[in-house]
Structure 1
Amino acid sequence: MPIAKLLREQTIGETRWVALDDRGEAAALYLERAHEDARRAVIGERLGAHIRKLDAGAGGAFVSLGAKGEGYLRLKPGETFAEGAALTVEVAAEARRGKLARVRTAHEGGAPASGVAAWRASLTGGAAAGVEARAAGDAEVGAAFDEALSAAVTLRGGGRLQAERTEALVAADIDTAGRNARGGKAAAALAINLEAAGALARQILLRGWGGLAVLDCVAPVDTAAGGRIRAAFLEAFREISGRQVKALAPSPFGLMEISADWQVTPLAERRVDGPQTAALDGLRQLEAAARAQRMGRLSLALPPAALAWLAQSGLDAQAQLAQTYGARLEIVRGQAGAAEVKPGS
């Protein structure tokens, strides 16, 4: 389903975006953190670069992106550069675990869309979709991000799709427990395989995944059924996104192989547990509580490591809180564990 609406939840330190399809389901997510994005290569961004080392065997080069780190340039046929040469590149895919950002030589003309604008442009209908602002702690935004970090999702007709990203690929499995099968074994298998294929397409986009994925289909899967399952996946993916994607019909073992272009850093890599996430989640909780209790004094107790990160982040969170909510909110040192919002003194 094409993108019908975008939700934007802006809080201190980060902005969370949710793209909804025309059924109102979350179809893709994007996370903006200005303090992070200043140090990393962001999708669509145009940057000055220098060739650090040629990789002749692979037809590419490692490039220095200055304050944005390093990237890998795939050379086009006929392109030649010497080590040390300066050039302008565009970010084709953000860095991810074990992989540098992938860049390409920039075309002449105006700067391309980057960051959230590039993400929106990659979604079917995303650039034209209206944006609805949501308050800090919005339940719908939170539920979409929670789903993208969960180990499994429930299918509409019953059963679950479990998907896990490994170093080599995304492995997806179908659990039929709790599903009321109708018709014969082949018909029941086809129904859940079709639903799971569409759900996997959505999960790949929600989670920011790319590369190789394999769906272990429920048997039996004959040639005709395999073609329908492949078509269901491709249709669901292309309805949402313009990213390049390929899929093969399930093998005799029932395994459907998928390959999708990388675009953004996977959400799970940006939402890792740690001081930064604890601090930003705590600030979101504080802002949500401040909106619910418009006259109350509130205190955010942050674990020591999260408080230390916040002090070094340059966000100046206390000043930003005062500008929006007045002097009734404070950030204090708490105990190890989770952040906690409490009545202030």
Structure 2
Amino acid sequence: MPAARILQEVCAAETREVALDEHDRPLAVRLTRLTEDRPVRTGQQVTGRLHTISLGQGGGFVNLDDHGGEAFLRLQEGHGLTEGQSLDLRVAAEPREGSKLARVALAGKAPAPGAPDLWDAPEVMQVDPGDPTVAMAFDMAISDNVNLPGGGNITLERTRALVAVDVDTSGRTETGRAATRALKVNLDAAAELARQIRLRNLGGIIVMDCVSPLNRESGKQVRDRFNTVFRQISSQRVRALLPSDLGLLEASVEWAETPIAERLLAPSGAKSSRTICFDGFRLLEQEARARRMDRLCLDLPGHALDWLNRDGPLLRQSLAQKYGDRFTYDSTDPKSPVVFTVP
């Protein structure tokens, strides 16, 4: 199911895009930044040399050309390849934190059929820097909590082993039997979880703690709702089990893109210095458009200014080329970026 429309926010140093459904709920986000090193991307055609075959690990290791780094290629007995062989490949999954290599497939092997590309929307709208819907979507993609349409929320916590999901019914006002109320909130949670996995570029093992009571027939409805919604918006392979006797809905989702949180957050879970810098540049661009003759100063937290001075000359150049050389950069160590007029 393609998105109903796409919002595209083009700034001097980055482009942020959001795919929205017919209810204007964000389904996916896309981010392109200056200074960000992303050697390979899902679906990209690449070449490389197979340097090690290790069927005990399920495949082989490939050195990608053009500084693409190392990648893993799944192989089975009788694959017919030899170490040192040059290969035409397709990127099946991007690298992730924790030394998780990119995964590639032979270029001649077609990907499994799946949902249509969300980004094939009939309507693409250009929006101004700082657009609130784009900002909301990117904030949601890194938030721990997501509200459910009928009240309550789900909390997603990503660990090294899995993504744990808790369902909270606070704020729901349904009446009736406990089993009926539990089924409704679990159906809402399963649908929202499917959307959040796609929005956040998550994969691996997903475990949702369903609200009880939950019998087998209700559990089947919850599992089917998760599968249906996910397969409408993603081509990633997914397998979901019936909830266990303890009410745990378990799913395995194929990895594809790098999780958006890894690109926006530091290991501590706070926004990275790079992300704070880009937030500041977006704010600076908003002010530059509104005050076209003023000299402006971007006041950044100290660690973000350090990153800008070390790694961000291209950001300064791109903004100056677009709006003129009328910007300065400083730090009084505010909690978040601030822009003010220079007398």
Q: TM-score, normalised by structure 2?
A: 0.89
| TM-fit CA distance, 1:122 | 6.1
| Paired amino acid for 2:292 | R
Tell me the equivalent position of 2:282: 284
Q: In the superposition, relative to structure 1, how do residues 123 and 340 fare at CA in structure 2: closer, same or farther (>3 Å)?
A: farther
Tell me the equivalent position of 1:45: 44
Give RMSD over aligned pairs.
Answer: 2.3
| TM-fit CA distance, 1:344 | 2.2
| TM-fit CA distance, 1:325 | 1.8
Contact 1:303–1:336 (CA under 8 A) maintained in structure 2: yes
Provide the C-alpha distance between the structure 2 equivalents of 1:310 and 1:48, rounded to a whole number of angstroms.
Answer: 34
User: 1:250-265 to 2 correspondence within 5 Å?
Assistant: 250-265=243-258
Structure 2 counterpart SS, 1:30: strand
Structure 2 residue runs without a partner (length 5+): 266-270
Contact 1:91–1:104 (CA under 8 A) maintained in structure 2: yes
User: 1:178-193 to 2 correspondence within 5 Å?
Assistant: 178-193=171-186
Provide the C-alpha distance between the structure 2 equivalents of 1:42 and 1:321, rounded to a whole number of angstroms.
Answer: 26
How many pairs does the alignment contain? 333
Provide the C-alpha distance between the structure 1 equivalents of 2:256 and 2:328, rounded to a whole number of angstroms.
Answer: 36
User: 1:181-260 to 2 correspondence within 5 Å?
Assistant: 181-260=174-253
Tell me the equivalent position of 1:58: 57
Provide the C-alpha distance between the structure 1 equivalents of 2:309 and 2:189, rounded to a whole number of angstroms.
Answer: 45
1:330 to 327, 331, 336: 327
| TM-fit CA distance, 1:149 | 0.9
Q: In the superposition, relative to structure 1, how do residues 260 and 248 fare at CA in structure 2: closer, same or farther (>3 Å)?
A: same
Tell me the equivalent position of 2:95: 95
Structure 2 counterpart SS, 1:17: strand
Structure 1 counterpart SS, 2:319: helix
- Could you tell me the percent identity over the aligned residues? 44
Provide the C-alpha distance between the structure 1 equivalents of 2:108 and 2:13, rounded to a whole number of angstroms.
Answer: 32
| Paired amino acid for 1:157 | G
Structure 1 residue runs without a partner (length 5+): 113-120
Contact 2:145–2:155 (CA under 8 A) maintained in structure 1: yes
Contact 1:48–1:89 (CA under 8 A) maintained in structure 2: yes
Q: In the superposition, relative to structure 1, how do residues 318 and 167 fare at CA in structure 2: closer, same or farther (>3 Å)?
A: closer
| TM-fit CA distance, 1:189 | 0.4
| TM-fit CA distance, 1:185 | 0.5
Q: Does 1:176 align with 2:169?
A: yes
Provide the C-alpha distance between the structure 1 equivalents of 2:313 and 2:88, rounded to a whole number of angstroms.
Answer: 30
Q: Does 1:74 align with 2:74?
A: yes
Contact 1:151–1:162 (CA under 8 A) maintained in structure 2: yes
Once structures 1 and 2 are overlaid, which stretch shifts more, 213-222 or 122-131? 122-131
Contact 2:115–2:234 (CA under 8 A) maintained in structure 1: yes
Structure 2 counterpart SS, 1:36: coil
Q: TM-score, normalised by structure 1?
A: 0.89
Structure 2 counterpart SS, 1:206: helix
Provide the C-alpha distance between the structure 1 equivalents of 2:296 and 2:105, rounded to a whole number of angstroms.
Answer: 49
| TM-fit CA distance, 1:326 | 2.6
Provide the C-alpha distance between the structure 2 equivalents of 1:344 and 1:318, rounded to a whole number of angstroms.
Answer: 17
Contact 2:55–2:76 (CA under 8 A) maintained in structure 1: no
Tell me the equivalent position of 1:150: 143
1:33-58 Cα offsets, whole Å, 9 max, x none, are: 25324x42111112221223222202
| TM-fit CA distance, 1:150 | 0.9
Provide the C-alpha distance between the structure 2 equivalents of 1:125 and 1:149, rounded to a whole number of angstroms.
Answer: 20
1:296 to 289, 294, 308: 294
Provide the C-alpha distance between the structure 2 equivalents of 1:312 and 1:88, rounded to a whole number of angstroms.
Answer: 37
Contact 1:46–1:106 (CA under 8 A) maintained in structure 2: yes
Contact 2:152–2:168 (CA under 8 A) maintained in structure 1: yes
